[in-house]
Amino acid sequence: MRIYRNFSLTLLMLALAGTLLAQTQKASGYKVTRRVTLGGEGGWDYLTLDSEAHRLYVARTTRVMVIDVDSGKEVGEIPNTNGVHGVALLHKLGRGVTTNGKDDSATLFDLKTLAAIATVKTGGKPDGILFDKFSGLVITFNGKSNDSTLIDPEKAVVAGSVALPGRPETAVSDGKGKVFVNLEDKNLIAVIDIATRKVVTTWPLTGCEEPTGLALDSANRRLFSGCHNGVLFVVDADSGRIVQKLAIGNGVDATKYDKKAGLIFTSNGEGNISVIQQEGPDKYTSFANVATQKGAKTMALNADKHVVYSVANAAGEDGKPGAFELIVLEK
């Protein structure tokens, strides 16, 4: 019993310390300004914002909901995307691409009509996805086969693959031939050279558990990797040097960077968004977390208007019909 009381006292002291820390942190000015009920069944994963068309693509298990962010209304959907995780947008081609985790495939669709154009086979359980402007390829990151599939989006064919030394999550491109990807099960960042289609190095994230969300400050060459155990790593994108570690909420799944405001955002499944100020390439300061909703683990950022979008189930139960909502944060 004594051990239990001491353990309980320790937990209480930690909770009080966390409360005092939150009280001493300045507010970022961001707050929830709008909640819109979207409804519908199914879980959710990545959010992708098309700021030009004012559309938000929301992955919903078997389909992608397409939401007009101004009205908050659903304007269409992309069906038959079994186990969908993410969406990449290619405005010059007028196409988008989804990752269908349960079908080991990617669906190419028309951005205007949302009609499917083609389906391409990928590696096992594709999850993260990005369009690499440097190579003109869409890249899927496959969590079961530990590799990436390179897709030619114009021809709708596989153009190659890259073997990875771990399970990939979110990735970013520097637009110069390098792609960085979090390896969730290894607590590493892998660096891919697109020209050679090989991993050229990996960087350890010591103290990070399950790195997921990843963002890049291309001007200052800084990566922002969010870890499930409540830590954000700032990493030099040239050397892999750990620049700084900052406390964030637990259960992060997305990390975004607003270069105009110099802000980093992480959306945390425990029910908040962490906001961090970039004071310089090597100096970062945390603001107090902004409360959202438990389960609001993913997000999208409109960096021009400094608006953050997240989604969650208002009832607190993943997939309960009718309670799914869009959460909008602004200053």
- Give the separation between CA 82 and CA 224, rounded to whole angstroms: 30
> Which class in CATH covers the domain with range 27-41+206-331?
mainly beta
Q: Which regions of the chain are under pLDDT 70?
A: 1-24, 316-321
Contact partners, residue 303, CB within 8 Å, separation at least 6: 256, 258, 259, 260, 261
Asked if 162 and 148 touch (Cβ cutoff 8 Å), the reply is yes
- Domain limits, CATH 2.130.10.10, in the chain: 27-41+206-331, 80-204
Superfamily of domain 80-204: YVTN repeat-like/Quinoprotein amine dehydrogenase (2.130.10.10)
Torsion of CA 174, 178, 184, 186, to 10 degrees: -140
Residue 315 is predicted with a pLDDT of 78
Vertex 212 angle, CA 46 and 314, to 5°: 45
How far apart (Å, rounded) are the C-alpha atoms in residues 160 and 41? 35
Q: Give the DSSP letter string of 237-285.
A: TTT--EEEEEE--SSEEEEEEETTTTEEEEEETTTEEEEEEEEETTEEE
Planar angle of CA 121, 122, 125, nearest 5 degrees: 120
Query: Do residues 140 and 149 lie in contact, with contact meaning Cβ atoms separated by under 8 Å?
Result: yes
Per-residue model confidence (pLDDT) at position 112: 96
256 vs 46: CA distance, rounded Å: 12
Residue 5: predicted pLDDT: 42
d(CA 293, CA 92): 36
pTM: 0.91
> Is residue 22 classed as helix, strand or coil in its secondary structure?
helix
pLDDT in tens, 235-247: 999 999 999 999 9
